[in-house]
Copies of this chain bind each other. A is one copy, B any other.
Amino acid sequence: MSENAAVSRPGGAPKLPYRNRLSLSNRFLRLAWGFVYALLFRTTPKPLHGWRRFLLRLFGATVASTAHPYPRCRIFAPWNLIMGDYSCLADDVDCYSVAPIRLGAHATVSQHAHLCAATHDYEDPEFTLLPRPITIGDYAWVAAGAFIGPGVTVGEGAVAGARAVVTRDVAPRTVVAGNPARVVKHRRGAAEIEGPGR
């Protein structure tokens, strides 16, 4: 048995380290977005949120007219981005939207946070890319430098503390911190956000 049996592909010599699941048209769109982003998005002064919302919508994003996409936030694929009312993507956020990323109303994603909506199946010899959507709930806060992993839902009003590394769902109104992230407290005012009915 060849040493590399587990990673070579049937039908000949491997040409790529893993099967690229992203289609050609997807790659062309991303190339076009890359140019538009570098020339027309990232270069804009902070207050011009309206212009950046326009560019994001041009490439298929669903962006509320009150959303704040800051100029240095990176967005892999705008067509997979949904920004709710008053939601915010701060500078130096990396929104790796291989799968859909949805920010609820008033959701805040602070500087250097990484929303990473894909992983690889490392048990698969093909090292297949696995897109997994991310949801940041209404009024949730992803603080500075936090990492939100593929498939994660951060519940309504929840907080991922600075540099928290979140690989599992976060329950509504809980506060998580650390690497790996653990629940450290609960957000007060839950009753007020949710109303007495729940």
Chain A residues at the B interface, C-beta cutoff of 8 Å? 1-7, 14, 16-17, 27, 30-31, 34, 45-47, 68, 86-88, 92, 94, 96, 106, 108, 111-112, 114, 116, 119-120, 122-123, 125, 127, 139, 141, 143-145, 147, 149, 159, 162-163, 165, 167, 175, 177-180, 187-189, 192-196
| Residue from the set A162, A188, A193 with the largest chain B CB neighbour count within 10 Å | A162
CA distance A29 to B122 in the complex (A): 38
B180–A1 touching, CB < 8 Å: no
B162–A147 touching, CB < 8 Å: yes
Chain B residue at smallest Cβ distance from A149 = B162
B7–A162 touching, CB < 8 Å: no
Chain B residue at smallest Cβ distance from A163 = B165
A114–B192 touching, CB < 8 Å: no
Q: 7 pairs across A/B with beta carbons < 8 Å? A: A1-B195, A6-B193, A17-B108, A31-B45, A31-B47, A122-B141, A163-B165
Q: With A34-B45, A145-B147, A179-B165 in contact, is A86–B123 under 8 Å at CB?
A: no
| Residue from the set A143, A159, A180 with the largest chain B CB neighbour count within 10 Å | A180
Q: Please give the distance in Å from A185's CB to the nearest CB on chain B.
A: 10
Residues of B contacting A195 with CB < 8 Å? 1-3, 5
Residues of B contacting A123 with CB < 8 Å? 187-189
B167–A179 touching, CB < 8 Å: no
